């Protein structure tokens, strides 16, 4: 009787549990920013020598990111589109880019083929990925931001077993680099080949990667990740770049190019305490970066160019320094040795939906640092609020000490739909 009674009350509807063949979502974001400027810094002299700017300058950013997918049979289409609007001291502009847009075919659970624009997300590091040969670099100040991908053709074959080697997968990738197609990846006129071999061996994730083809010099990489315990994970990456080319400049503007095999590596851990405090720690060795002496020489060159501009009005030396800035010197972390530490606490003092955090990025070469406390609140449906400050600390001639800003304060309001 009980069975019959419950059978009459419950009616199974397959549509309620069937996965929808499509998905549409995204977010809209508004972010005002205040930059506190350091008028004695080399990068301030480089970027503001011909502008009248006060001690602080605002910027207003807005972003609309849309993503959607459609699945039918063995095929899937995915697209992520990003529209950003920026209004600051230099420019007001709106840009729309397709961050990702790909078609994939999955004829069996073990095999998938894809073509289109995508972010591959190679590497195990949180703030840096020295073995992510086919991805744009992360912003260490905000590593989880979405990044624009590249146009590639790839496949993925996966096989599983019982035993020490539980899973193996092979991912070959072809990346064209021609005029109008991935033309910012490297030297154009080349079809590049890369691959990744994945092993789940003795409960350790291991990847082996390589890239060759001409747009960039041949390079090899490896990474690993392992859970030592339920709340402690360790990870690492290594890459070797053949014939890496580095252009340096002395204080007089004389340039010199060196070619060498660059070794890059990263070691890190992620630890979660019983009190829901998360620690992320990484050491990064950037073998393609500049030594402290090379960085000081570049800053001295900017100072010399600024003095020449002030006395003669001739910006030629600053223009030359600006070209170098657009290259390697202007990267987020152009030095050689870095430490990264992020500490976040979930719902301290039982304050629901509240997560404070602090992030420190330190240059071990010159003892300068970036320190970023923040607060995030997610207590409203689909709405994320974040208030963050970034303080730049370092002496004259150091990497962070020569940044154009002394501090930055930004507020991010992001609504998901």
Tens-digit pLDDT profile for the chain (417 aa)?
Answer: 334 443 444 454 544 456 789 999 999 999 999 999 999 999 999 999 998 888 999 999 999 999 999 999 999 999 999 999 999 988 999 999 999 999 999 999 999 999 999 999 999 999 999 999 999 999 999 999 999 999 999 999 999 999 999 999 999 999 999 999 999 999 999 999 999 999 999 999 999 999 999 999 999 999 999 999 999 999 999 999 999 999 999 999 999 999 999 999 999 999 999 999 999 999 999 999 999 999 999 999 999 999 999 999 999 999 999 999 998 999 989 999 999 999 999 999 999 999 999 999 999 999 999 999 999 999 999 999 999 999 999 999 999 999 999 999 999 999 999
Concatenated DSSP letters of 123-179: SS-SS--TT-TTSPPP-TTSTTS----EEEEEEEEEEE-SSSEEEEEEEEEEEEEBT
d(CA 393, CA 411): 21
Whole-angstrom distance, CA of residue 372 vs CA of residue 375: 10
**How many whole angstroms separate alpha carbon 318 and alpha carbon 305?**
5
* pLDDT value of position 53: 86
pLDDT at 13 (0 to 100): 53
Fold of 2-416: Porin (2.40.160)
Distance, in Å, from the CA atom of 312 to the CA atom of 305, rounded to the nearest integer, reads 10
Rounded to whole angstroms, the Cα distance separating 235 from 127 reads 12
Domain range annotation of the chain: 2-416
Distance CA 281, CA 265 (A): 14
pLDDT score recorded for residue 9 = 45
- Name the one residue in this structure whose structure tokens are 């989880």: 144
What's the pLDDT score for residue 17? 52
DSSP-assigned beta bridge partners for residue 371: 360, 391
Q: Is 157 left (phi over 0), alpha (psi -120 to 50) or beta?
A: beta
Sorted by sequence, the CB contacts under 8 Å of residue 249 that are 6+ apart come out as 255, 256, 297, 298, 301, 321, 324
Residue 15 has, within 13 A of its CA and on its CB side, a CA count of 0
């Amino acid at each position: 009787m009980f069975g019959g009674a419950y059978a009459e009350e419950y009616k199974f509807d397959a549509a309620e549990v069937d996965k929808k063949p499509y998905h549409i979502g995204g977010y809209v974001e508004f972010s005002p920013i205040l930059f506190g400027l350091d008028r004695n810094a080399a990068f301030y002299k480089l970027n503001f020598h011909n502008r009248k700017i006060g001690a602080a300058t605002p910027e207003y950013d807005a972003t609309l990111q849309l993503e959607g997918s459609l699945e039918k049979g063995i095929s899937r289409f995915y697209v992520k589109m990003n529209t950003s609007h920026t209004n600051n001291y230099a420019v007001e502009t709106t840009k729309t880019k397709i961050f990702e847009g790909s078609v994939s075919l999955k004829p069996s659970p073990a095999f998938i083929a894809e073509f289109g624009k995508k972010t591959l997300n190679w590497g195990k590091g949180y703030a840096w990925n020295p073995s992510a040969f086919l991805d744009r670099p992360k912003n260490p100040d905000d590593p989880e931001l979405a990044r624009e991908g590249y146009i590639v053709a790839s496949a993925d074959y996966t096989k599983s077993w019982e035993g020490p080697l539980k899973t193996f997968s092979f991912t070959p990738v072809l990346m064209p680099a021609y005029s109008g197609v991935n033309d910012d990846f490297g030297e154009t006129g080349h079809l590049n080949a890369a691959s990744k071999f994945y092993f789940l061996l003795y409960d350790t994730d291991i990847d082996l990667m390589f890239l060759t083809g001409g747009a960039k010099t041949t390079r090899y990489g490896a990474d690993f990740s392992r859970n030592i315990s339920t709340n402690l994970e360790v990870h690492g990456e290594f890459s070797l770049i053949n014939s890496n080319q580095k252009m340096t400049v002395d204080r007089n503007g004389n340039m010199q190019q060196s070619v060498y095999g660059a070794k890059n590596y990263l070691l890190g851990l992620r630890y979660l305490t019983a009190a829901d405090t998360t620690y992320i720690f990484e050491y990064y060795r950037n073998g393609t970066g500049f030594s402290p002496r090379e960085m000081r020489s570049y800053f001295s060159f900017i100072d010399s160019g600024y003095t020449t501009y002030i006395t003669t009005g001739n910006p030629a030396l600053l223009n030359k320094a600006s070209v170098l800035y657009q290259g390697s010197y202007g990267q987020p972390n152009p030095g050689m040795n870095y430490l990264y530490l992020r500490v976040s606490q979930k719902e301290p003092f039982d304050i629901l939906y509240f997560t404070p955090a602090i992030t420190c990025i330190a240059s071990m070469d010159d003892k300068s640092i970036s320190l970023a406390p923040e607060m995030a609140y997610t207590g409203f449906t689909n709405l994320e609020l974040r208030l963050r400050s970034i303080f730049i600390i370092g002496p004259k001639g150091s990497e962070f000490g020569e940044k154009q800003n002394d501090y930055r304060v930004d507020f991010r309001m992001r609504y998901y739909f």
